[in-house]
Amino acid sequence: MGKRAKTDPEGGMKAILKLPDGKIELPILVGSENERAIDITQLRSETGYITYDNGYGNTGSCRSEITYIDGEQGILRYRGYPIEELAEKSRFVEVAWLLISGELPTKPQLQSFSELLTRNAALHEGLRHHFEGFPPDAHPMAMLSAMINACSCYHPELLEMEDESHVLEGSAKLLSKVRTIAAFSYRKSIGRPIIHPHPKLSYTRNFLHMMFSQPFELYEAPDVVDRALTLLLTLHADHEQNCSTSTVRMVGSSGANLFASTAAGVCALWGPLHGGANLAVVNMLRKINESGIPLKEFIEKVKTDPNLRLMGFGHRVYKNYDPRAQILKKTADRLLNELGIQNPLLNIAKEIEGMVLEDDYFIERKLFPNVDFYSGIILSALNIPANMFTVIFAIGRMPGWIANWYEQFCQKAKIVRPRQIYTGYATRHYIPLDQR
């Protein structure tokens, strides 16, 4: 067992905050990797002050044992295991169990969890009809969020989770059905009949089967395709208190059930600054390729136009190369090579990376490739349509959302309710309509 958190060492250190009208001593918390936090829980009650931290870049929202990131060193560990080892040796279902339960599964545990996922892959017939209500060009992220919530209508027994067995059952339903929902929404968008899950296929092979099989012909994913998708899902499985995971914790903190909380996580992930970036990267690379704009000129534009971002670069936490991007860059090379695919966007991406990593503008701001920079190129090679890139991210992130919701559930955490700095009008009085 690895070193566990020791956040409140005996005789803990204190921070002294000097205020215009006095001072206050605040406890210092120390995490298991020695990161330090000033505990301001008593600040407002003792001084009347609150803190202000736009975007919460300097604010810890919770104590968590799930994922550790060292942004300066480019380190990412799930429950203490380095992402590089899990990427090489593990598989998505095993990593999902690790994140949710806290330990790598034994053989019997993995076997029964896989069987639970298989048993929960199908959708209730009533759920299937919901797809008829969506227009053909409905965005798959809108469908995914709606259908996750709709799932809970067919499993009322999982709305009140009392214990671990309920959470395991609910996790299996969510992890398994998000795949089916995603595949069904794709089949509907292309006007093809849905393909039901296959009881003998692994997690990723079953998803690819539901996406690409035909009623008369089974799609059997080549090993390199199965491995690439498994790796992609594993690398996306959790990432500490990112925007969507924080959303899941915030919604769950009100006592909202696991389905409602993860459906909210899907909505937060949709944004182009977060999970929507993988699609934004491919659109950016495609525009560069089609316009023929010299890369140097494009990069200069990014540096001068405040509204233009180099999508797939930069990160709130990583001020070094995102370790996931390192792995995905190698995977993109290997996958396209083994599939014999020539994708000019990969060459453009590599050229941009090479130029940017030597450019002072990006160096000063510590902007490196993040997880989204190469993932879209891999997804394109797997024939996943562009509007489903973020859906794949959501399927991958589901174990992390569940693990965080469950951790908070066990911690019996307080409802999340931040304060604000009010900048509006002072008191003013109602003006009758005929006097305005």
From candidates 91, 179, 315, 329, binder to ligand SDX by CB under 6 A: 315
Amino acid, res. 261: S
Q: Please name which of 394, 397, 391, 348 lies closest in space to residue 373, comparing C-alpha atoms.
A: 348
Residue type, 69: I
Q: What tokens appear for 254 in the block?
A: 């009100």
Starting at the edge strand found earlier in the chain, the sheet holding 67-70 runs 67-70, 75-78, 81-82
- The interface mask with ligand SDX, positions 208-247, x = CB under 6 A, is -------------------------------x--x-----
372 is catalytic: yes
CB of 237 to ligand SDX, least distance (A): 9
CB of residue 404 to ligand SDX, shortest distance in Å: 12
**Looking up tokens 């020539």, which residue turns up?**
342
Long-range contact set of residues 153-160: C-beta below 8 Å, sequence gap at least 24: 154/124, 154/126, 154/127, 155/259, 158/257, 158/258, 158/259, 159/257, 159/259, 160/257
Which of 273, 122, 113, 257 minimizes the C-alpha distance to 195? 122
Shortest Å, Cβ 393 to ligand SDX? 8
What is the C-alpha separation between 288 and 350, in angstroms, rounded? Answer: 13
Region binding ligand SDX by CB under 6 A among candidate stretches 181-189, 260-268, 303-311, 374-382? 303-311
User: Closest approach of Cβ 32 to ligand SDX, in Å?
Assistant: 20
**Exactly one of 209, 238, 315, 322 is catalytic; which is it?**
315
| Partners of residue 16 on adjacent β-strands | 25
Q: Which of 277, 335, 384, 388 binds ligand SDX (CB under 6 A)?
A: 277
CA 22 to chain CA centroid, nearest Å? 43
Per CB under 6 A, does 314 bind ligand SDX? yes
- 23: helix, coil or strand? strand
From 13, 50, 153, 273, residue interacting with ligand SDX (rule: CB under 6 A): 273
Q: Does 77 bind ligand SDX (CB under 6 A)?
A: no
Does 329 engage in binding with ligand SDX (CB under 6 A)? Answer: no
- Interaction between residue 316 and ligand SDX (CB under 6 A): yes
Q: How many CB atoms lie within 10 A of CB 183?
A: 26
Q: Does 274 bind ligand SDX (CB under 6 A)?
A: yes
Q: Is 313 in the site for ligand SDX (CB under 6 A)?
A: yes
At 17 the three-state DSSP class reads strand
Does 141 interact with ligand SDX (rule: CB under 6 A)? no
| Residue 210 or 310 with smaller CB distance to ligand SDX | 310
Report the alpha-carbon distance of residue 421 to residue 87 in Å, rounded.
43
CB closer to ligand SDX out of 26 and 367: 367
Contact call for residue 301 and ligand SDX (CB under 6 A): no
Q: Does 302 bind ligand SDX (CB under 6 A)?
A: yes
User: Taken in order 125, 131, 132, 133, is the CA torsion positive or negative?
Assistant: positive
Q: Does 74 contact ligand SDX by CB under 6 A?
A: no
Q: Is residue 370 at the binding interface for ligand SDX, with CB under 6 A as the rule? A: yes
The residues, ordered by sequence, that sit 6+ positions from 406 with a Cβ below 8 Å of its Cβ are 100, 167, 171, 258
Count of H-run helices and E-run strands, the chain: 18, 6
Site string for ligand SDX, 34-73 (x = CB under 6 A): ---------------------x------------------
Nearer to ligand SDX, 311 or 388 (CB): 311
Residues between 183 and 212 with contacts to ligand SDX, criterion CB under 6 A: none
Q: Which one from 226, 238, 322, 372 is the annotated catalytic residue?
A: 372
Count residues binding ligand SDX (CB under 6 A): 21
353 CA to centre of own chain: 23
407 binds ligand SDX (CB under 6 A): no
Q: Does 309 bind ligand SDX (CB under 6 A)?
A: yes
Q: How far is CA 39 from CA 43, 68, 186, 371, in A?
A: 9, 19, 47, 31
Rounded CA gap, 342 and 14, in Å? 58
Closest CA to 127 of 189, 193, 177, 201: 177
| Closest to ligand SDX by CB, 36 or 366 | 366
The answer to whether 372 contacts ligand SDX (rule: CB under 6 A) is yes
Q: Between 277 and 288, whose beta carbon lies closer to ligand SDX?
A: 277
401 binds ligand SDX (CB under 6 A): no
Q: What is the smallest separation between the CB atom of 236 and ligand SDX, expressed in angstroms?
A: 7
| In the complex, residue closest to ligand SDX by CB | 314
- Rule CB under 6 A: say whether 365 interacts with ligand SDX: yes
- C-alpha angle 287-292-298 in degrees, rounded to nearest 5: 70
| Interacting residues toward ligand SDX by CB under 6 A | 55, 239, 242, 273-274, 277, 302, 309-317, 365, 367, 370-372
| Residues identified as active-site | 315, 372
